[in-house]
Chains A and B, each alone.
Chain A
Amino acid sequence: MAFINKAAREINCKIVYYGPGLCGKTTNLQYIFERATPESKGKMISLATETDRTLFFDFLPLSLGEVGGMKTRFHLYTVPGQVFYDASRKLILKGADAVIFVADSQEARHDANIESLDNLRTNMQETGLDPDATPFILQYNKRDLPDVESVDDLNAALNPRGVPSIEAVARTGVGVFETLKLTAKVLMTDLRKKMGSPT
């Protein structure tokens, strides 16, 4: 649910990074945090376990310039990927304006990707988000590792809707900003449509 503040001329949106455990959601946010200019970013918050696994969420506020005289602010969240944190995932997903699904490209994680994507669909429905209409982007992460599935195979398994997909190596930043930029664009276009603009 975007928050449009006409008094302050600001558009605030929420983007959620979803995906199986250890797929690179937090790594995406860390890279954005490291590379974004100091003026555009706020503090990154990670609620993690002692072993650095996400416990509740990571949060990074980011300003991305203006559209039509309105400042845009994006709140980026990650969910905890581990299966048993499902209740927390649902809470974080609530009110998302766009979802990025980070898939782990390794063959060994094929089933984990599918399970997480099914879980996303269920949780979207339960939190009042339409899984077929909410802005949705796929990121195929860890493309630098051996034994990765081809993009065609990943698309066949994870992308029946044919949404945009981006190859990435989040650890080195490949595809990280591309994913975010594309998501922001799809989100803003969707928001404009929802707000009933004539164009």
Chain B
Amino acid sequence: MVNPQMVMYEEEFNQIQAVVDRLVREANAKVVFIVDKNGQLIAASGEVDNIDTTSLASLTAGNIAATGGIAKLLRENEFATQFHEGENANIHIQLVGNRVILVVIFDSKSSLGLVRLRVRKASEELSRIFEALLSKVQEPGGDSPFAEITDEDIDNLFND
């Protein structure tokens, strides 16, 4: 059975961050981020200080979930790409390996064509990294991040 928890290790995190950092530069994007399908932010790069990435992550995942629901009703597997065009900002959303969501926010300094091109390349790299991560998580005998957590720690979680 597939371990349902997603564990991110330092090595893969650095690889993912490198892909995201490069995508910001190569696509002339304002912000790039990666979210899992449950809305958890995995990595972000670019002008992230001016943006609420947590809310964006949750809404993007909701958006993908809703679109996936529509796809199912139309007997489509997935709608893997979405693009929303605004007056100043545009957002390109790409489902990668049916597991994570790659989001690129860009303005008039870039173009949809360029973003699509760079996203395609980055998606391939990210697919490979997440596949490797998944098999690593499923390896038996990995050290549990919970090994050092006691009942007392859990009890104390809420003691303000």
Contact = CB atoms under 8 A, between A and B. Distances in A.
A192 B149 contact: yes
Interface string A21-34: 00000000000000
A194 B69 contact: no
Contacts of B86: none
Nearest to B11: A7
A58 to B, nearest CB: 10
Interface centre among A12, A64, A72 (most CB of B within 10 A): A12
B153 A3 contact: no
Given A57-B62, A59-B58, A95-B37, A195 B52 contact: no
A36 B85 CA distance: 36
B74 interface: no
Interface size class of B (residues with CB under 8 A): 35 or more
Nearest to A40: B160
Contacts of A72: 157
B157 A67 contact: yes
Given A42-B54, A45-B59, A195-B146, A184 B158 contact: yes
Contacts of B52: 42-43
A196 B144 contact: yes
Interface string B6-17: 111110011000
A114 B59 CA distance: 30
B111 interface: no
B66 interface: yes
B46 interface: no
Nearest to B150: A199
A194 B5 contact: yes
Interface in A44-62: 45, 47, 56-57, 59, 61
Contact of A67 (B37, B59, B65, B149): B149
A77 to B, nearest CB: 8
Contacts of B7: 4-6
Interface stretch (A86-94, A115-123, A148-156): A86-94
Given A4-B7, A8-B13, A95-B37, A68 B148 contact: yes
Contacts of B65: 91-92, 94
Closest 3 pairs between A and B when the two form their complex, measured CB to CB: A7-B13, A68-B149, A95-B38
